Structure 1
Amino acid sequence: MADTTGEPLADTVADALAERGSAGTMPALWLGIAAGLQIGFGGIAYLVASAGMPSGAGATHLLAGLAFSAGLMLVMVTGAHLFTGHAMLSLPLAQGRVTGAGLARALGLVWLANLVGSLIVVALFVAAGGAEGVDGAVAAIARETAMSKVAKSGGTLIASGILANMLVCLAVWMASGATTVAGKIVAVIAPITLFVAAGLEHSIANMTLLPLGWALDPAAVPISGIARNLALSTLGNLIGGGAIALLLGAGHGAFERN
């Protein structure tokens, strides 16, 4: 069996990222919307797992993180385009395989497509009465989650976004080396459970959690707070994901072999 760790995996990831960076507009849009939908499903799973549970219990956060990991499992198995994974385009950029303009185009296109997919999930979930699940506990935890996110300071959001996407990109990196559906699923579980349980900020997950909070209580979750959170968590995610890709790429000699 071919080695799917270390240097071979670094080359596999770099090749896949270079391909993502040059994807056509329509495929990137469709697959970006799909990723927004899938991470949105993960957000719903997080809320349902948290509903009615002791909010201060570590076990609750771990369970909710495990539930949320279903979103990235779907992304990795279906090959959808997720903005936070695209943050690792820093690697092919450093290799000269993607231009700065190409990087900006790919990131902007996928971010917007992820937003569209996320908002579709929110609209359908509200219309379906999903927020009233678990005797209204889903709505309660959705409001609580959104309010806590918009209340964080700017520095906290950036630092939290950096850590969150370090873990997400490590999950994507490991899952890229798996050759089976089961392998991709297993690779995702630990890093994603950890980032969610730690309360870190993932911009695409927030595209579901924050608009849902607004839909349930606009006064408590203002649009300005949502925009601020998404802007700063996006910046943190870009830094964290980009740094992880460059660190692993350099360590495994991906620049010398290009």
Structure 2
Amino acid sequence: MSYLKPAELIGTVIDAGASKVMLSTRDTLLRAILGGALLSLAAAFAVTVSTTTGIPLLGALLFPVGFIMLYLLGFDLLTGVFVLTPLAWLDRRPGVTVGAILRNWGLVFLGNFIGAFSVAVLMAVVVTYGFSTPPNEVGEAIGHIGEGRTLGYAEHGFAGMLTLFVRGVLCNWMVATGVILSMVAKDVPGKVVAMWMPIMLFFFMGFEHSIVNMFLFPSGLLLGGDFTILDYLIWNEIPTVLGNLVGGLLCVGLPFYATYGRPGSPRRSARVQASEVPASVPTAV
């Protein structure tokens, strides 16, 4: 079958989480760097399309190409491991400890930032002809995004911080759904369609994704955006990371595991019983 039903999918999801934790430091960093870079290129692409055409929906329709490419290649995002690795711990997979999970998160965060920042520098060179001219219209658009999503929240104080956090939660609700849906099909077209839907939604709705922001905000600072590194950390990146963590776990990972993967679950018990039936014994259709 080209489609895995949720009761079958949970095992694949848990296996993926366990494999992420057990990766070597080198492989974890490399896959995170490449994941952050591909997603950042897709963000630059989406901003370019939105700016040059004046149609934001078109940018949102095309942005998922980066997410799709990086997950088809097995690269990693912090927002993805937020949902995958805790499920492997809940399932008591050997070697998956809290310390190992935190190590994985730290390495993926670092790798994603390196990849995103590298693309930010390269794109800044492109839109300024090597910093010899003022930013073109795409560069100006990126700079204004950084201002609006830092100082714009700060103007509202606590209400702005709450809005930022909730946008982070809603973002990773969709992104974590996309991560799980990347495993729901066994053929490439099925995976592409499944991943496309939630990623398009989060981007067009303006939700806050910590890895995309690792590209947008350093780009804004390089291109003359009117905000500071401290503004970026306090009024975007830190609350966004926390919101992404909560959204991935509470809205996707834990409910999915509770209904399909927890020990004693009727669906899980049925899968275990089916797997224990000898091949020579026919089962009911």
Q: TM-score under structure 1 normalisation?
A: 0.91
CA distance in 1, matches of 2:121, 2:180: 32
Q: Which one has a bigger Cα radius of gyration?
A: 2
CA distance in 2, matches of 1:255, 1:3: 24
CA distance in 1, matches of 2:128, 2:189: 29
Within the candidate set 68, 72, 75, 2:67 is matched to 72
Q: Bigger CA drift: 113-122 or 184-193?
A: 184-193
3-state SS, counterpart of residue 249 of structure 1: helix
Q: Does 1:249 align with 2:254?
A: no
3-state SS, counterpart of residue 51 of structure 1: helix
2:89 partner amino acid: L
Native 8 Å contact 2:128 2:136 kept in 1: no
CA distance in 1, matches of 2:34, 2:144: 27
What residue number does 1:126 align with?
124
What residue number does 1:209 align with?
216
3-state SS, counterpart of residue 203 of structure 2: helix
Task: Report the CA distance between 1:253 and its aligned residue.
Answer: 3.1
1:23 partner amino acid: L
CA distance in 2, matches of 1:70, 1:130: 25
CA distance in 1, matches of 2:35, 2:255: 26
Native 8 Å contact 1:10 1:254 kept in 2: no
Task: Report the CA distance between 1:187 and its aligned residue.
Answer: 1.2
Within the candidate set 185, 190, 206, 1:183 is matched to 190
Native 8 Å contact 2:127 2:139 kept in 1: no
Q: Does 1:105 align with 2:103?
A: yes
Q: 1:254 to 1:2 in 2, by over 3 A?
A: farther
Q: TM-score under structure 2 normalisation?
A: 0.83
Native 8 Å contact 2:143 2:224 kept in 1: yes
Native 8 Å contact 2:82 2:248 kept in 1: yes
What are the residue-to-residue correspondences of 1:121-200 with 2, within 5 Å?
121-129=119-127, 136-150=136-150, 151-152=152-153, 153-200=160-207
3-state SS, counterpart of residue 176 of structure 1: coil
Task: Report the CA distance between 1:127 and its aligned residue.
Answer: 1.6
Q: Does 1:94 align with 2:90?
A: yes
Native 8 Å contact 2:2 2:185 kept in 1: no
Q: Does 1:15 align with 2:10?
A: no
3-state SS, counterpart of residue 47 of structure 1: helix
| Unpaired segments ≥5 residues, structure 2 | 154-159, 273-285
Q: 1:162 to 1:91 in 2, by over 3 A?
A: same
CA distance in 1, matches of 2:206, 2:43: 13
Native 8 Å contact 1:91 1:242 kept in 2: no
What are the residue-to-residue correspondences of 1:20-59 with 2, within 5 Å?
20-54=20-54
3-state SS, counterpart of residue 255 of structure 2: helix
What residue number does 1:57 align with?
none
Q: Which runs of 4+ in 1 moved over 4 A?
A: none
CA distance in 2, matches of 1:118, 1:21: 22
Task: Report the CA distance between 1:128 and its aligned residue.
Answer: 2.4
Native 8 Å contact 1:87 1:238 kept in 2: yes
What residue number does 1:234 align with?
241
Q: 1:189 to 1:130 in 2, by over 3 A?
A: farther
Native 8 Å contact 1:114 1:204 kept in 2: yes
Native 8 Å contact 2:36 2:115 kept in 1: yes
2:217 partner amino acid: L
Native 8 Å contact 1:76 1:184 kept in 2: no
CA distance in 1, matches of 2:123, 2:5: 39
CA distance in 1, matches of 2:23, 2:72: 18
